[in-house]
Amino acid sequence: MFKVVTVSALLILLSACSSNKKAGVVYHDSFDFSAVKSYSLYERNSAFTDTQNLLDSRRNAIEIAIEGSMAEKKFSYADVTQADVVVTYHMFNGKRSEYTRYNEAVHFCTHCLRATSWQTEKKYESIVRGHLVIDLFDPKQKRSVWRSVYPLALEAKDNSAETNDKIKQAVAIMLTQYPNPSAIKSN
């Protein structure tokens, strides 16, 4: 009997841990993702940073996680004026006005998701408080061409190491959804 209860509890824990492992993703199918070799992040004093009031420690954790995940995918860091894409992010804190300003800054249109030029690999859900949003911004077209959303599940009791680990895991999961260029071309 004890073994049955233990195994059942373990299965419940494993299924609970694995249920949040998918990031919502949408992307513009006319963008040539196979041509992307470099990326950048906006400087701290750019207009982009004005779109959200975010602690420097949180911003650092997100940017370090992005840099690590992009390096694993073999993208090289470049100056923002030379990069193929600029990686932007927003941590939704419940303030719709900040989220609206962010969407305007990256030229992301939620109403445009119904257009045939946007593809979804995973269900793209409405954003709620605590979700992290990452966009790949095409500096030539001056708009977002890829977006992923993932629940961070940060808690007030989390210490900085736990917070950083959650952010790193979320960013890694989100960026693994980067479109496979061969799959896009076959559609």
**In the chain, pLDDT over 70 holds for what percent of residues?**
76
CA distances from 102 to 1, 7, 85, 122, 140 (A): 54, 45, 17, 22, 18
In terms of average pLDDT, the best of 6-10, 15-19, 60-64 is 60-64
- Class of the domain covering 22-186: alpha beta
State the chain's mean pLDDT as an integer: 80
Domain ranges in the chain are 22-186
Q: What span, in angstroms and rounded, lies between the C-alpha atoms of 182 and 163? A: 35
> 171 or 185, which is more confident?
171
pTM exceeds 0.85 for this model: no
pLDDT number for residue 123: 57
Enter the tokens of residue 130: 């605590």
What's the pLDDT band for 15 if we cut at 50, 70, 90? Answer: very low
Whether the predicted pLDDT of 168 surpasses 70: yes
